[in-house]
Amino acid sequence: MSNAIEKHTQIIFFDGVCGLCNGFIDFLIQKDKKYVFKFCSLQSELAKEILTKYKFDASELNTVVLLADNELFIKSNAVLRIFKKLPFQYAVFYYMLFWIPHFVRDWVYDFVAKYRYKLFGKKETCRIPNSAEIERFLL
C-alpha cells in the first residue's frame, strides 16, 4: 500500500479473532454510511507492513489502532476518534468522553481488553468479509 493511500485513508486495525472487536467492526460498517473507514485485521501481513512503518508492533492485539491523517491512535484515543467521524448521534460520545482524563479512559479500556475473550469469545480464524463488505477491508 502506498503512503499516499495511507495518508488519505482512515484505517482501523483490529483483533480479527476477538468477538468484541468484530462486533465493533459490524457496528461501524452499519453506521459509517460515508465509507470513511477501511478495516484491516492486526493478524494480517498488510497490517504488519503498514504498522511497522509507524513503529507499532502489530502482534500487540490488546488494542484497536486507528491510522488517520498519517498518525496512529490507540486504545481509548482510537475509539474516540472513530466515534468522532460517525453521524452526530454517535459523535456525541467523543465530545462527552474526551474530557475524561486519558489515563482513566485507558485504564477502563485495558480492563475490558484483558477480559474480552472471556466475555465476548474468540474465533479460531480471522473475520472473513462477505461480498457486500469486501471493498471496506484491506486484505
Is 118 within the bounds of a domain? yes
Is 132 within the bounds of a domain? no
Is 131 within the bounds of a domain? no
Is 32 within the bounds of a domain? yes
Decide: pTM greater than 0.75: yes
Compute the distance between CA of residue 63 and CA of residue 109 in angstroms, rounded to an integer: 8
Tally of domains within the chain: 1
Q: How many CB atoms lie within 10 A of CB 8?
A: 9
Q: What is the phi/psi pair of residue 43, to 5°?
A: -80, -10
Q: Which domain holds residue 70?
A: 3-123
Is 135 within the bounds of a domain? no
Is 139 within the bounds of a domain? no
Is 12 within the bounds of a domain? yes
Residue 112 belongs to domain with CATH number: 3.40.30
Per-residue pLDDT of the chain (139 residues; tens, 9 = 90+): 545 455 557 999 999 999 999 999 999 999 999 999 999 999 999 999 999 999 998 888 889 999 998 899 999 999 999 999 999 999 999 999 999 999 999 999 999 999 999 999 988 777 788 888 888 998 7
Is 80 within the bounds of a domain? yes
